[in-house]
Structure 1
């Protein structure tokens, strides 16, 4: 790996969470293991536990009571807080960094949702994204789906974009988590005959809760939807857990993890669950479906009949004992998914971009 003197990273929220929040924590922690110092420019700082050595946090406090306006102001000023002698990584839409990491695009989100009226903040967001992509020397997308959006909707040269699927912490997500499977299921009140569908979601509308609940209405009562997220879903056969920080144990307890997202740039819950031995049931709108095997990922078009067919297939596999134990999970993830494999390449790309 090409040595870096250090790097700046711009991201609005440094705290525990899913998706990009978890990715950023992993990135910073891995850099610390490689003795690469970094300056993190952020709006919110809630590092879980003790922050690694060599990490400097620059927190830019909010100026107004309005979150979207605060984020816009942060993005306008964040790059100015970076060290000039270090290369920079941008994840928030703050134009200027050498390399930007894109987990999803705003235009892609709007188009997938079928939104016809685009308001002021949507237009401002797209303008800021366009500036970020144009100024960056290198763009890292988290799926081929997102790379296509950057090229098609923002007019970016495809040679400037590289796809690096997001990594998984294999120390945390592994078959070792299955040691507590039965204990966790009993605590949830589930029997071996129940089909536990884990639905990790902090945005039920985006993740397709409406379609999932419609598919389960009048369906086999053995199917239990277990929701891990802050907002409850009020429907029969639903178990609401609230926010949970024991996701590896929940993945291992589940028979499948499910997403029916309107827009899902990747969906790291798929590889995470698979490494815990549990397959995924994903709509084809989920980016991770590109790189998961057919056996470990039951795909469906985002329609009610297609989802019910996928659920029926899951029940048949449950009854035959072939659903929720992937005894060699790594073979079902078709990209280099470990933290070192991913971040070593990322830092090489950053070093090359900063030398241009």
Structure 2
């Protein structure tokens, strides 16, 4: 494995957040830990304690329209790269990169939304995305589902595509977070006889809030939905925790974590929650179900009845007393989830 002296990484938002934002910061931190310099090119950067060896180029927005700013950023971002370094593209840059990392495809997203007629910005995004895939030397999707979309919907040769599931920071997400479990539950007002169901979401509609709320009606106040995200969700038996900086403690406080997304390329909250000792309820539309297993992951079809049955099963298991041990975690995660192994694979693909 050849180790580059430096890497350009293009992603529109390098700052604390969920999903791909967290992934990008983890990858940059691990590259810098190995002595590999990183130039991050982004629209927005907020990382006050960035590691030594990381530098950032911020390309300022030119218009008040966010989607237009994203397109302009994608068209111009590669100009800010160091030409003597390898380049990783995560934003859909319509130019040549050494490695394209893909968390989800836009056509797949539109299909799952049921949007039959793409708008102007959708068409421009798909144009960028198609060029991004065609010009990349190699493509690393975060699930087999996404790999299938890239080859089938964009006509990309399978030989260019190598699936590697996203990692988790095991120093941050671990069973040690359970030390704060009772304190967090008290802060949220969750009684010991209530089942705390955690819903991490910054887009309630896409994450399946309507389906979840319909299923919860059968449980009355026995199950409390705790929403972790910037936007509140107004409904009975819901607690809005807001944006949470200490997600490991929130996972550990919960009895289960849920996603019922219409489209979710992977769903990093799954392994994060499991590593903190809390099982997940995932719709079968979520990419992570490819590598998550019982007793840590319980899968349901996107219907009220199937979700109710799945939730009742996990509620019953909680009352029986689920074990919380490294063995329980190991049985539930069926892929190499450490950031160390993931970056090894990434560097191998960079060549």
TM-score by length of 1: 0.96
Residues in 2 aligned to 1:205 and 1:4: alpha-carbon distance in whole angstroms = 42
Q: In 2, are the aligned partners of 1:278 and 1:326 still within 8 Å (CA)?
A: no
Check if 1:65 corresponds to 2:64.
Answer: yes
Residues in 2 aligned to 1:151 and 1:318: alpha-carbon distance in whole angstroms = 41
- Output one character per residue of 1:318-339: Cα deviation in whole Å (capped at 9) or x when no partner: 22122x7355213310000001
Secondary structure of the 2:205 match is helix
What is residue 209 of structure 1 aligned with on the other side? 209
Q: In 2, are the aligned partners of 1:9 and 1:39 still within 8 Å (CA)?
A: yes
Q: In 2, are the aligned partners of 1:143 and 1:163 still within 8 Å (CA)?
A: yes
Check if 1:54 corresponds to 2:53.
Answer: yes
* Pairing of 1:17-56 with structure 2 (within 5 A): 17-47=17-47, 49-56=48-55
Q: In 2, are the aligned partners of 1:257 and 1:281 still within 8 Å (CA)?
A: yes
What is residue 256 of structure 1 aligned with on the other side? 256
Check if 1:286 corresponds to 2:251.
Answer: no
- Output one character per residue of 1:47-77: Cα deviation in whole Å (capped at 9) or x when no partner: 1x32212222111111111111111111011
What is residue 116 of structure 1 aligned with on the other side? 116
Aligned residue pairs total 349
Residues in 1 aligned to 2:247 and 2:7: alpha-carbon distance in whole angstroms = 30
Q: In 2, are the aligned partners of 1:142 and 1:164 still within 8 Å (CA)?
A: yes
Residues in 2 aligned to 1:59 and 1:107: alpha-carbon distance in whole angstroms = 28
Residue 288 (structure 1) shift: 0.6
Residues in 2 aligned to 1:313 and 1:222: alpha-carbon distance in whole angstroms = 14
Q: In 2, are the aligned partners of 1:208 and 1:261 still within 8 Å (CA)?
A: yes
Secondary structure of the 2:23 match is helix
* Pairing of 1:1-356 with structure 2 (within 5 A): 1-47=1-47, 49-95=48-94, 96-322=96-322, 325-328=324-327, 329-351=329-351
Q: In 1, are the aligned partners of 2:301 and 2:307 still within 8 Å (CA)?
A: yes
Residues in 1 aligned to 2:212 and 2:250: alpha-carbon distance in whole angstroms = 19
Structure 1: 5+ residue runs without aligned partners? 352-356
Residues in 2 aligned to 1:310 and 1:171: alpha-carbon distance in whole angstroms = 30
Residues in 2 aligned to 1:221 and 1:51: alpha-carbon distance in whole angstroms = 43
Q: In 1, are the aligned partners of 2:220 and 2:237 still within 8 Å (CA)?
A: no
- Output one character per residue of 1:254-284: Cα deviation in whole Å (capped at 9) or x when no partner: 0000000000000000000000011000000
Residue 168 (structure 1) shift: 0.4
What is residue 354 of structure 1 aligned with on the other side? none
Residues in 2 aligned to 1:173 and 1:330: alpha-carbon distance in whole angstroms = 14
Secondary structure of the 2:50 match is coil
Structure 2: 5+ residue runs without aligned partners? none
Q: In 2, are the aligned partners of 1:274 and 1:326 still within 8 Å (CA)?
A: no
Residues in 1 aligned to 2:320 and 2:59: alpha-carbon distance in whole angstroms = 55
Residues in 1 aligned to 2:70 and 2:252: alpha-carbon distance in whole angstroms = 36
Residues in 2 aligned to 1:135 and 1:285: alpha-carbon distance in whole angstroms = 29
Residues in 2 aligned to 1:2 and 1:208: alpha-carbon distance in whole angstroms = 43
Q: In 2, are the aligned partners of 1:133 and 1:139 still within 8 Å (CA)?
A: yes
Residues in 1 aligned to 2:192 and 2:97: alpha-carbon distance in whole angstroms = 51
Q: In 1, are the aligned partners of 2:295 and 2:331 still within 8 Å (CA)?
A: no
Find runs of 4+ consecutive structure 1 residues off by over 2 angstroms.
218-221, 324-328
TM-score by length of 2: 0.97
Secondary structure of the 1:207 match is coil
> CA 1:317/1:220 → structure 2, altered by over 3 Å: closer, same or farther?
farther
- Output one character per residue of 1:136-193: Cα deviation in whole Å (capped at 9) or x when no partner: 0100000111111101100111111011000000000001111111111111111222
Residues in 2 aligned to 1:188 and 1:170: alpha-carbon distance in whole angstroms = 26
Secondary structure of the 2:257 match is strand
